[in-house]
Structure 1
Amino acid sequence: MLTILSNKDDWRIFPTELAKRSKDSEDSIYRELKKLEKFGYVRTYKKSLGRGKGVTAFRFCADRKISDEMFEQLKKQLDKELVN
């Protein structure tokens, strides 16, 4: 969590990148992210790249639980940034 929060605000959370920065395996990172998500500190927004182009995951992380209202605001802000 500290590694995630110590990066710039626009840094995207990639488990592969986190694994490179630590002694933990990528599977371990995924498990820990799932735990943080279960408790509300990480929220994942899966966004379509267009028909037949797949889906990408955007993860939001905070030192406080991310409420549904805050999650909706974060998704709207991201959608605006992706359009530009």
Structure 2
Amino acid sequence: MLLTILSNSDEWRVYPEELAKRCRDSVDAVRTQLKALEKAGYIRSYRKSLGGRYGTETHRFCSDTKISDEVFQELLKELNC
């Protein structure tokens, strides 16, 4: 799963539905794999509110090495959070 994610351009957003199509897996299976990668430290997620009734936007940062807290904070700064 991580290899599939990292093979895309840096600007590509990680959508479980898109990964499910590419990997021929169920969306639930992809979400489970994403959670496992996040628990292992290879993916870090941030949910940004779009205000009131507009919901949230999820940003996922992925790396072939574990993402430290310091690196994650720098990535969040780039998002202007």
Smaller-chain TM-score bracket: over 0.9
Q: Which amino acid aligns with 2:40?
A: F
Q: Which amino acid aligns with 1:6?
A: S
Task: Please list every run of 5 or more consecutive structure 2 residues that lacks an aligned counterpart in the other structure.
Answer: none
TM-score (norm 2): 0.92
- Offset, 1:25: 0.8
Counterpart Cα distance in 2 of 1:23 and 1:11: 19
Task: Please list every run of 5 or more consecutive structure 1 residues that lacks an aligned counterpart in the other structure.
Answer: none
Q: CA-atom RMSD, angstroms?
A: 1.2
Q: How does 1:18-33 map to 2 (within 5 A)?
A: 18-33=19-34
Paired residue total:
80
| Stretch moving more, 71-80 or 52-61 | 71-80
For the residue of structure 1 that corresponds to 2:60, the secondary structure is strand
Partner residue in 1 for 2:52: 51
* Segments of 4+ moved more than 3 angstroms: none
- Offset, 1:16: 0.3
Counterpart Cα distance in 2 of 1:52 and 1:15: 22
TM-score (norm 1): 0.89
Counterpart Cα distance in 2 of 1:10 and 1:78: 13
- Offset, 1:26: 0.6
| Stretch moving more, 46-55 or 65-74 | 46-55
- Offset, 1:52: 2.9
Identity %: 56
- Offset, 1:51: 2.9
